[in-house]
Structure 1
């Protein structure tokens, strides 16, 4: 990779980190190519990305972003997972690290807030933005459904009473 390609990669990664909602750093030492591919596919399906680059280039890309504090965690064979949704990348990385002990979460950051491994784990336990939106819509629709049921109940009860009286008389 020549200098101009490296500069283009750093610029591209800087843009990605600037727009990312969360960044997670994990050691992948000992993972096979098939395991890495499997994790990347899961990440892509969920809307996140896992990149492995030279640590020096990643440090340069992190400069000037909210995630600049992560540069000290870039030592040894590490990969960087990121996503726009602040829950997706940590959730996939934590799920995969439970299934495969060779992937170890070092830490991460959400905006300017730096997270240790436990912070990433707790962030992964939260519901995603889509799940939260679904719950919110459900909560907003539930009262309307209950009101409609309450309004209809007296009318249906009255109809049953009149029907029973008609059958008796």
Structure 2
């Protein structure tokens, strides 16, 4: 479908706006994936605060100029699907990784976080906010239980010394 200049400017502005409000970005190649599968992916992405769009490479490069995701410019070769995570840095990478496991034709190209190209698999394994809080609470709970055990042991040793 041919786009006029206004249409191209609108796409560049839309992608640029999404990039400026995003925490991370992921670029993938969706050649050979069925429309139904991509529709399901879009639905899951929307539910997790991920903005995604198939964008022409030249328009994507222009849209990312001056943003934290300018480092992704080299990855725009062939058909590209770009996704921006606005709520959690690993959301788009996690969704795309899970989708790639189910659809072998779907290929993750690259990911970016805080202006640097990063491994998409690493980004996908980042814990969510709730998971990180749960891990922290678990560690704090274990530490306090350890202190309690040490205190009880110290009291026991002290009583044994007094008894002797």
TM-score, normalization: structure 2?
A: 0.78
Q: Which runs of 5+ in 1 are unaligned?
A: 147-169
Q: 2:33 aligns with which of 31, 34, 40?
A: 31
Counterpart of 2:130 in structure 1 is 130
Counterpart of 2:99 in structure 1 is 96
Provide the residue aligned with 1:51 in structure 2: 53
TM-superposed CA distance for 1:139, in Å, is: 5.8
Name the CA distance, whole Å, in 2 between partners of 1:34 and 1:42: 12
- Supply the distance in 1 between the matched residues of 2:53 and 2:79 (Cα, whole angstroms): 11
Does the alignment pair 1:110 with 2:113? Answer: yes
| Partner residue in 2 for 1:73 | 75
Secondary structure in 2 aligned to 1:108? strand
Cα-to-partner distance string for 1:10-67 (whole Å, 9 max, x where unaligned): 1121121122111011111101110100111111111112210111111110101111
Match of 1:8 in 2: 10
Distance in 2 (alpha carbons) for counterparts of 1:50 and 1:109:
15
Q: Name 1:159's counterpart in structure 2.
A: none
After TM superposition, give the deviation of residue 129 of structure 1 in Å: 2.1
Offset at residue 138 of structure 1 (A): 5.9
Structure 2 Cα separation of the partners of residues 81 and 13 of structure 1:
10
Deviation at 1:114, TM superposition (A): 0.8
1:62 to 51, 61, 64: 64
User: Residue 42 of structure 2 is aligned with which of 23, 40, 43?
Assistant: 40
Per-residue deviation, residues 48-94 of structure 1 (Å, max 9, x unmatched): 12210111111110101111111111111110111021111111100
Q: Distance in 2 between matches of 1:50 and 1:134?
A: 29
Q: Distance in 2 between matches of 1:120 and 1:138?
A: 27
Report the equivalent of 1:161: none
TM-score (norm 1): 0.76
Query: Shift of residue 95 of structure 1?
Result: 0.7
Task: Work out the CA distance in 1 between the residues paired with 2:64 and 2:97.
Answer: 22
Bigger shift: residues 6-15 or 71-80: 6-15
